[in-house]
């Protein structure tokens, strides 16, 4: 186990190279999708798994598209973690995430009103608040109020995150 990007790179440059790399999504020097892409350059085709503290389901599509072989939550039980590593070693690609968190978000999404869903569709189309207000013949301040409510109900960080969650949950 290495704790810095430099140590990881040195380990993969040496003769005792591991069969699998598990990379913390928030590792300083190799964080995020850019860190994943950088790590893929020195793994020489070996399986690379990404460990995610929160939101594995949200990160998974981007990580897998960028070249990760698997995405795992950091808080996995030891037996499940061992099984996941075994799958990774034989070349399987997969994502593991907390199903209850997804169900919780889906349940919150069902509390959206019809108007909030309409506004969320506008957000997903990339419309600004002013454009959404014009489309539904309402005031921009009303749209802002609905956007805040949507963000709260979905547990999103911002309107872009709300649109991503809506897409992932097939709400719109």
What is 131-142 written as a DSSP string? HHHHHHT--HHH
> Of 13-17, 29-33, 54-58, 144-148, which has the strongest mean pLDDT?
144-148
- Within the chain, strands assigned E span 21-24, 48-52, 70-73, 94-95
- Long-range pairs for 3-11 at CB < 8 Å and ≥24 separation? 4/28, 4/29, 5/29, 5/30, 5/35, 8/39, 9/42
Q: Which pTM value belongs to this model?
A: 0.58
- pLDDT above 70: percentage of residues in the chain: 91
* Residues near 48 by beta carbon (within 8 Å), at least 6 away in sequence: 20, 21, 22, 23, 36, 39, 40, 67, 68, 69
pLDDT at 56 over 80: no
**Pairing state between β 21-24 and 94-95:** unpaired
Task: DSSP letter for 36, please.
Answer: H
pLDDT at 103 over 80: no
Question: Cα–Cα distance between 21 and 35 in angstroms, integer?
Answer: 13
Task: Please state the φ and ψ torsions of residue 138, each to the nearest 5 degrees.
Answer: -130, 170
> What pLDDT score does 70 carry?
92
Q: Which domains does the chain have, with CATH numbers?
A: 5-97 (3.40.50.2300), 102-169 (1.10.10.10)
pLDDT at 77 over 80: yes
> What pLDDT score does 148 carry?
96
């Amino acid at each position: 186990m290495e704790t810095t990007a430099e140590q990881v790179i040195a380990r993969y440059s040496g003769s005792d190279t591991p069969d699998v790399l598990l990379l913390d999504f928030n590792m300083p020097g190799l964080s995020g999708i850019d860190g994943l892409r950088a790590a893929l350059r020195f793994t020489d085709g070996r399986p690379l798994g990404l460990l995610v503290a929160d939101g594995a389901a949200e990160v998974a599509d981007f990580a897998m598209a960028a070249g990760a072989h698997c995405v795992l939550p950091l808080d996995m039980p030891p037996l499940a973690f061992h099984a996941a590593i075994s799958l990774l070693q034989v070349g399987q690609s997969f994502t593991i995430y907390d199903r209850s968190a997804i169900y919780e978000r889906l349940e919150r999404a069902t509390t959206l009103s019809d108007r909030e869903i309409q506004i969320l569709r506008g957000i997903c189309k990339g419309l600004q608040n002013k454009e959404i207000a014009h489309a539904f013949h309402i005031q921009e301040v009303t749209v802002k109020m609905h956007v805040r409510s949507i963000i709260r109900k979905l547990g999103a960080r911002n309107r872009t995150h709300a649109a991503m969650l809506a897409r992932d949950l097939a709400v719109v």
